[in-house]
Chain A
């Protein structure tokens, strides 16, 4: 029998999007979920250790190969990419407002920020970090937005539950107040 760990590694390697447990189970017919889980856990631990340039990470509800952060400069050189742009602060703020309040409309996002967010929404849509999920049954039938799967991938989140929690946010606010005091 093939080593389950190397098998799982191959499956994750060829996939461009996170490979979920369900997908693995569907491919590895008859293999108990617990065995697959421990094979993946082993793989995550192996690749996470020093001596490897890539590692398996848990993101977007599944597993994916990613290069280790240390190699960013050389990877960019190979791909001839000058710099990966971070989101602008307006973009990030808009994204956060959507992530926490979804599903939301443009005017709801603008109200939270106190600033017209049409442009920021357009940029986020182009970057595929948000998606349109329908229209709201309200005057004007405004479009309704949600964060996308790419959003999870972009921030390395396993699911929306991994967004910073109320407690974490409260802690940040405490710290900021302490600095001001």
Chain B
């Protein structure tokens, strides 16, 4: 399943965003940055500034300049960028404050920002090394990454007692129990109808995960009927139910010989 942040990652070469010269400097898309610290590091490098001696006013101006160029607004990200902007302005104000005595070495108001930037810079550098490792490892297949080959052959059935099935069922019941059962749905489901539905599903999907199937049901009643159907199908030797381990999910599929006959049902 593709997760939201699994978008094609920018290649290391493009870590420095594509930029084009314009009269007022660079045009950079903000979304190429991982976050505000990434943007800040980019600006610092662009200006060839020593990270330990950042001219806060100049960097803040650049930083805010980038924020203004944004076209789309994503509130969550906006807040993160603005937080660092606020921090920059706060640091500048601290530096402007007249003081009775000069600040000691460790009291630079920029300290807090510098520490964060240095740490982030290190993590980023480590990332480029880890990425190299990932690129090599991803090409080497280990046995635990290899999914079972689902060929035509039927999986070897494992003995499963009614007790095991029931045990799993009660586990599901427990999960369901937490739900609001006061709402009554006016839908009657017969075992007969459910059975047809189940067989159809088995033919289509080849195999179903009972837990998943069960959870997909709107009501406890309907789920119960589904469970009876599976028991019925197993009993009449139409389907096979396999549980790898106790309390794990039960996989259900049609027997090969039954697959054809059931199709004409």
Binding site for B on A (CB under 8 A): 15-17, 57, 64-70, 72, 75, 78-79, 84-93, 95-97, 99-100, 111-116, 119-120, 123, 126, 153-157, 163-164, 168-169, 172-173, 176-177, 180-181
Cross-interface CB contact of A112 among B3, B10, B48, B120, cutoff 8 Å: B120
Q: Pick 23 A–B contacts, CB within 8 A, sort by A.
A: A16-B143, A64-B142, A65-B142, A66-B140, A67-B141, A85-B2, A86-B131, A87-B134, A90-B5, A93-B34, A93-B127, A96-B130, A99-B126, A99-B130, A113-B37, A113-B120, A113-B123, A114-B35, A116-B80, A123-B5, A154-B137, A155-B133, A168-B129
Residue of A nearest to B38 (CB): A114
A95 to B124, CA, bound (A): 11
A70 to B139, CA, bound (A): 8
Binding site for A on B (CB under 8 A): 2-7, 9-10, 34-38, 45-46, 48, 76-77, 80, 83-84, 116, 119-131, 133-144, 146-147, 149
Whether A169 pairs with B125 at a CB distance below 8 angstroms is yes
Cross-interface CB contact of A95 among B3, B130, B141, cutoff 8 Å: B130
Cross-interface CB contact of B125 among A91, A112, A116, A173, cutoff 8 Å: A173
Whether B140 pairs with A154 at a CB distance below 8 angstroms is no
Cross-interface CB contact of A92 among B4, B7, B134, B147, cutoff 8 Å: B134
Whether A96 pairs with B48 at a CB distance below 8 angstroms is no
Interface centre among A15, A75, A92, A99 (most CB of B within 10 A): A92
A23 CB to closest chain B CB, in angstroms?
A: 15
Q: A100-B123, A155-B134 are in contact. Are A123 and B141 (CB under 8 A)?
A: no
Chain A residues whose CB sits within 8 angstroms of the CB of B116 once the complex forms: 111-112, 114
Whether B3 pairs with A115 at a CB distance below 8 angstroms is no
- 9 additional A-B pairs beyond A86-B131, A113-B123, A115-B35, beta carbons within 8 Å, are A72-B141, A88-B7, A88-B9, A96-B123, A114-B80, A114-B84, A116-B80, A169-B125, A173-B125
A139 CB to closest chain B CB, in angstroms?
A: 20
Whether A113 pairs with B140 at a CB distance below 8 angstroms is no
Whether A115 pairs with B36 at a CB distance below 8 angstroms is yes
Whether A180 pairs with B45 at a CB distance below 8 angstroms is yes
Q: A92-B130, A95-B130 are in contact. Are A16 and B144 (CB under 8 A)?
A: yes
A63 to B146, CA, bound (A): 17
Chain B residues whose CB sits within 8 angstroms of the CB of A65 once the complex forms: 142-143
B63 CB to closest chain A CB, in angstroms?
A: 12
Chain B residues whose CB sits within 8 angstroms of the CB of A72 once the complex forms: 138-141
B31 CB to closest chain A CB, in angstroms?
A: 12
Whether A114 pairs with B130 at a CB distance below 8 angstroms is no
Chain A residues whose CB sits within 8 angstroms of the CB of B37 once the complex forms: 113-115
A181 to B125, CA, bound (A): 17
A87 to B133, CA, bound (A): 12
Whether B9 pairs with A89 at a CB distance below 8 angstroms is yes
A34 to B46, CA, bound (A): 55
Residue of A nearest to B144 (CB): A16
Whether A123 pairs with B130 at a CB distance below 8 angstroms is no
Whether B142 pairs with A153 at a CB distance below 8 angstroms is yes
Chain A residues whose CB sits within 8 angstroms of the CB of B138 once the complex forms: 72, 84, 86
Chain A residues whose CB sits within 8 angstroms of the CB of B136 once the complex forms: 69, 156
Chain B residues whose CB sits within 8 angstroms of the CB of A66 once the complex forms: 140-142
Whether A17 pairs with B144 at a CB distance below 8 angstroms is yes
A58 CB to closest chain B CB, in angstroms?
A: 13
Chain B residues whose CB sits within 8 angstroms of the CB of A112 once the complex forms: 116, 119-120, 123
A120 CB to closest chain B CB, in angstroms?
A: 6
